[in-house]
Amino acid sequence: MKRWIALVLLAAPLASAQVRSIPADAKVGQIRHLQDMLVEIDGAPQQLAPGAQIRDTSNRIIVPSAIPPGTLVKYLFDTAGQIQRVWILTPEEAQR
């Protein structure tokens, strides 16, 4: 029983680690939240799609107002031309 508990405790940090899979066709830009579901990417206002996901560097979903201004991101549009998915890049991802 003690071995099983030790195994669970050792595996817990590995289970919480997530691999980010950012599509190759995602565009790169600097983002800034303007208001509600409106953001600015590289100086152009863009509407976030209903249900848009914004992921921080730890791959957690955040609200648009939590985006630090001037943050480097990768993003995808939906079929209506609205921003559907946003990934805030880590320094390592930004260098690639």
DSSP labels, 9-67? HHHHHHHH-------TT-EEEEEEEEETTEEEETTEEEEEEEEEEEE-TTS-EE-GGGS
Domain region containing 52: 25-95
pLDDT digits (tens, 9 = 90+) for 11-54: 555 445 568 899 999 999 999 999 999 999 999 999 999 999 99
pLDDT digits (tens, 9 = 90+) for 50-77: 999 999 999 999 999 999 999 999 999 9
Classify residue 84: in a domain, yes or no: yes
At 3 the pLDDT is: 61
Classify residue 91: in a domain, yes or no: yes
pTM of the model: 0.80
Closest CA to 32 of 94, 88, 90, 95: 88
Total count of domains within the chain: 1
Tokens 């609205």, residue located: 82
- pLDDT surpasses 60 at 5: no
Classify residue 1: in a domain, yes or no: no
Classify residue 81: in a domain, yes or no: yes
CATH code where residue 63 lies: 2.40.50
